[in-house]
Chain A
Amino acid sequence: MITTTGLTKVYRSRGREVTALDGVDLHVREGEVYGVVGQSGAGKSTLIRCVNLLERPSSGTVTVAGQDLTALAGRGNRAGAELRKARSRIGMVFQHFNLLSSRTVQSNIELPLEILGVSGKERERKALELLDLVGLADKAKAYPGQLSGGQKQRVGIARALAGDPKVLLSDESTSALDPETTRSILQLLRDLNQQLGLTVLLITHEMEVVKTICDSAALMKGGRVVESGTVSELLATPGSELAAELFPVGGEPSGPDRTVVDVTFHGDAATQPVISQLSRTYNIDISILGAAMDTVCGKQVGRMRIELPGRFEENVVPIGFLREQGLQVDVADVKTPAPADELLKDGAK
């Protein structure tokens, strides 16, 4: 639905060059919620603004719904009629809502329809329908200044949907909201994604957002996408930084001669009570050092750090058992605390 290839953006100011995007290839499938995460300055904002060409990429192409937008851009800074038409089919939601304070809520939602040249009656019908969809039917005549942050973002979403877009871009849309409001806005985005088949590309710095609604995610660092894929693909990737961020586990072994393994649950195996099976089958005691689990679509997804008694060599069979169950098992690289008695012996010498 959204494809970028070799997207590069270089800012030039006073002879200095700053590379905000460095060859970004992104592929967002139709109907999925795709999250791009990264720290400030990683290029997320530039990326999303390049998708509807609010920012002109220095090189590379952007294709949205089969249409090569970069080819429509033309030269110069002004957007031609074709690009503007293409933009009207891409909704965008902003961190600071960007509602016009001089217009009522209804009139704000009508704005994109005015640009499209829709007649007055039709605009009103559509605006009220959208307000109903985002749960603000009673606020049509209010001004944005009278609404709370969450309500403003709902208006922002309704406005973004006015042109019946297939794609919704969300630029940190929940970053200015409190956690509870964030959840309700994410829920709304999820509902819209499912009800309308909307493809959502969102950027955020909150892992929680990705965890809550994203089907796929990408991690950006220094203008590059360093990891990307569906959430379970990422979990299945050994050493995936994004998976570790999404499902962070920690914990130190409780003593020497212990084997610490990280077990990653994804896919069908996650529904089996494997840990208790392991314990019963091999009659071993398992302690859980840390776990980050979530139930997504009825399946448990996440990671767990467990400790098995004995050295690694003694645990080859139980680890093999876990792997047979279709789980991904990594022996965690944690420092075993130096055995205290050996230290004492060394000291005695």
Chain B
Amino acid sequence: MTWAEMQPLLQNACLDTLFMVWWSTVYTILGGLPLGILLVLTDRGGLLQNVVVNKIVGVVVNLGRSLPFIVLMVWLIPFSRFVVGTSIGPSAAVVALAIGAIPFFARLVETALREVDHGLVEAVQSMGGGTWTVIFKVLLPQALPSVIAGLTTTIIALIGYSAMAGAVGGGGLGNLAIVYGYQRSETGLMNITIVLLIVIVTLVQLAGDLAVRTLARRGGRQAAPVGLRRLFAPARTTAKPVATVPAQAEAPEAAKLS
């Protein structure tokens, strides 16, 4: 296969992947963030303690997380048709990707919000702040670095899942690698695809780390080197005497859902 033949294929696949990842990320944030907040608020001892709601949301989230993605995608075909009018193509894949990632992201948001010191919530309550004030002035701003780190993990997971979008004709890089690389033994094309995926994932991770670092530095914390520079940074031997806040949590390893 010549480069001239490969180029349009790769270009289309790249655009499809970016399209699917971008839109599924947008819907994942829109769905996962409120769910994560709801999980924290309705929990025992939360501001809106409500055992029933908490249990229901928890079960729904766990259900979403327990299905293997490929099964979820196929199972969601009727739903995709209902939502976007078609059961094939990148748009249909976005529906499945978003629904697969929302519970995942919701759990990460929940974890991030739980890390916020309850004393801060109390302080704002003592000033006369209500639930909305607590969410928007305390929980979200304080948890923002962790939420961004969680989002980075989620986006990378979405890039991985998008490889399965081929099952519903979604296209994308992963599908290209399977159809041409595996089924037609076009090793060259497959290798290029793999390199492209690595580049995209690395860029996302670096951007995410940079955002987390910037936010953490805003809090007056000591900045650690970002991304690749981490490899070359000299080990710090002198401990800072004051205000040694634990280094900002690294984005957890990209966990697999299925």
Cβ contacts A239-260/B at 8 Å (1 or 0 each): 0000000000000000000000
25 A-B residue pairs with CB within 8 Å = A77-B47, A77-B49, A78-B130, A81-B130, A84-B130, A87-B125, A87-B127, A90-B126, A92-B127, A94-B119, A98-B117, A98-B119, A98-B122, A99-B123, A102-B141, A112-B128, A114-B137, A115-B133, A142-B220, A143-B218, A143-B220, A145-B219, A145-B243, A145-B245, A163-B128
Residues of chain A lying within 8 A (CB to CB) of residue B243: 145-147
Q: Quick one: closest A residue to B245, CB to CB? A: A145
Q: Is there a chain B Cβ closer than 8 Å to A100's Cβ?
A: yes
Residues of chain B lying within 8 A (CB to CB) of residue A54: 122, 125-126
Q: Quick one: closest A residue to B222, CB to CB? A: A145
Q: Is the CB of B220 within 8 A of A102?
A: no
A84 to B117: give the CA distance in the assembly, Å. Answer: 21
Within the complex, the shortest CB–CB distance from A313 to chain B, in Å, comes to 60
Q: A78-B48, A111-B137, A143-B220 are in contact. Are A100 and B142 (CB under 8 A)?
A: yes
Q: Is the CB of B128 within 8 A of A92?
A: no
Residues of chain A lying within 8 A (CB to CB) of residue B124: 111, 115
- What 8 A-B pairs are tightest by C-beta distance, nearest first? A145-B220, A88-B128, A143-B220, A98-B123, A112-B127, A84-B128, A92-B126, A146-B220
Q: Is there a chain A Cβ closer than 8 Å to B192's Cβ?
A: no
Q: Is the CB of A102 within 8 A of B219?
A: yes
Residues of chain A lying within 8 A (CB to CB) of residue B122: 54, 94, 98
Q: Is there a chain B Cβ closer than 8 Å to A101's Cβ?
A: yes
Cβ contacts A94-117/B at 8 Å (1 or 0 each): 101011111100000001101110
A318 to B243: give the CA distance in the assembly, Å. Answer: 60
Q: Is the CB of A148 within 8 A of B242?
A: yes
Chain A residues near B (Cβ < 8 Å): 52, 54, 77-79, 81, 84-88, 90, 92, 94, 96, 98-103, 111-112, 114-116, 142-148, 159, 162-163, 169
Residues of chain A lying within 8 A (CB to CB) of residue B49: 77
Q: Is there a chain A Cβ closer than 8 Å to B129's Cβ?
A: yes
From B122, B131, B142, B215, residue with most partner A Cβ within 10 Å: B122
Contact-residue bracket for chain B = 20 to 34
Q: Is the CB of A92 within 8 A of B245?
A: no
A301 to B136: give the CA distance in the assembly, Å. Answer: 51
Cβ contacts B132-165/A at 8 Å (1 or 0 each): 0100011001101000000000000000000000
Cβ contacts B216-237/A at 8 Å (1 or 0 each): 0011110000000000000000
A126 to B124: give the CA distance in the assembly, Å. Answer: 18
A148 to B243: give the CA distance in the assembly, Å. Answer: 8
Q: A143-B219, A143-B220 are in contact. Are A85 and B128 (CB under 8 A)?
A: yes
Residues of chain A lying within 8 A (CB to CB) of residue B30: none
Tell me which of B125, B130, B219 contacts A101 (CB under 8 A): B219
Q: Is the CB of B130 within 8 A of A94?
A: no
Tell me which of A86, A92, A116 contacts B123 (CB under 8 A): A92
Q: Is there a chain A Cβ closer than 8 Å to B120's Cβ?
A: yes
Residues of chain B lying within 8 A (CB to CB) of residue A92: 123, 126-127
Beyond contacts A52-B126, A103-B141, A115-B133: 7 other A-B pairs, Cβ-Cβ < 8 A, are: A54-B126, A92-B126, A98-B122, A102-B219, A114-B137, A145-B219, A145-B245
Residues of chain B lying within 8 A (CB to CB) of residue A102: 141-142, 144, 215, 218-219
A79 to B123: give the CA distance in the assembly, Å. Answer: 14
Within the complex, the shortest CB–CB distance from A67 to chain B, in Å, comes to 13
Q: Quick one: closest A residue to B49, CB to CB? A: A77
Residues of chain B lying within 8 A (CB to CB) of residue A81: 130
Q: Quick one: closest B residue to A81, CB to CB? A: B130
Q: Is the CB of A100 within 8 A of B141?
A: yes
Residues of chain B lying within 8 A (CB to CB) of residue A103: 141
Residues of chain B lying within 8 A (CB to CB) of residue A112: 127-128
Residues of chain A lying within 8 A (CB to CB) of residue B47: 77-78
From B128, B144, B220, residue with most partner A Cβ within 10 Å: B128
Residues of chain A lying within 8 A (CB to CB) of residue B126: 52, 54, 87, 90, 92, 169
Q: Quick one: closest B residue to A163, CB to CB? A: B127
Residues of chain A lying within 8 A (CB to CB) of residue B142: 100-102
Tell me which of B120, B130, B137 contacts A79 (CB under 8 A): B130
A263 to B219: give the CA distance in the assembly, Å. Answer: 55
Q: Is the CB of B220 within 8 A of A144?
A: yes
